[in-house]
Amino acid sequence: SYELPDGQIVTIGNERFRCPEALFTPSMLGMECAGLHETVYTSIMKCDVDIRKELYANNVLSGGTTMYPGISDRMQKQITELAPASIKIKIIAPPERKYSVWIGGSILASLSTFQQLWISKDEYDDSGPGIVHRKCF
């Protein structure tokens, strides 16, 4: 049970475990798509055979969703089951990974080569979300 700032008590049961499970089994949400581990595997298998071993050994978790307890062990297990038996799988889970996406985005945005893709608030207000596609793609 958790107490909210307003004093209300919320009891969370098996939902606590079902939420992250959807990352591996999207069908439980009615979605017809691959799980996270299958997507990683498929992506690696689409790469040149000469770099696959290196890719399997360098999977870095990033973003707040990867902060679920046990997610790195689960990724390790699931990808190991899919990958060739001779391949070493390594999942890297930095403790500060919940900020990795923001940090990466801020580094990208600060590069001089990226400045031509910047969108000002005025541009966005004038053009709406479509400005992203016009300017960036």
Of residues 31, 56, 33, 32, the one with CA closest to residue 43: 56
Of residues 119, 121, 122, the one with CA closest to residue 134: 119
In a domain, 5, yes or no: no
Give the residue-averaged pLDDT of 11-21: 84
In a domain, 83, yes or no: no
In a domain, 118, yes or no: yes
- Residue 114: domain span: 108-137
In a domain, 131, yes or no: yes
Token representation of residue 19: 């939420």
pLDDT tens digits along 68-80: 999 999 999 999 9
Instruction: Read off the amino acid at residue 126.
Output: D
In a domain, 112, yes or no: yes
Of residues 57, 16, 55, 20, the one with CA closest to residue 36: 20
In a domain, 135, yes or no: yes
Can you give the pLDDT at residue 31?
96
The total domain count for the chain is 1
In a domain, 85, yes or no: no
pLDDT tens digits along 23-65: 999 999 999 999 999 999 999 999 999 999 999 999 999 999 9
Q: pTM for the complete prediction? A: 0.74
Can you give the pLDDT at residue 105?
92
In a domain, 134, yes or no: yes
